[in-house]
Structure 1
């Protein structure tokens, strides 16, 4: 997610994914991407550290930033 520079790039990425609603959980390292993703339709974006169980089970396609596992 650190390579996403524009909202249009984020939208093109989402078009390639299965599903209609998405939840992006990002690491602190890539929190700048929130600004590029948050305004897209049917997309919610949060820092992984602030997500809770309800966020995860609400039926959206979950997209995880690989840096949250480091």
Structure 2
């Protein structure tokens, strides 16, 4: 079953954030806990929530609402 990768709320007032970099590419195998992508706010690095094959739905250097599904790990 695929695990959704959601844009997290990194501050109490955050409504949106910008994905500045993906550390893996679409179709790569990732491991739970390894760095997955970086956010503009506070230079936050977000870890993979599961292990499996990455499917990216969101571009880097783009802004999204908190809770947006950025991709999946299957």
Q: TM-score by structure 1 length?
A: 0.25
Name whichever structure is richer in helix by fraction. 1
Q: TM-score by structure 2 length?
A: 0.25
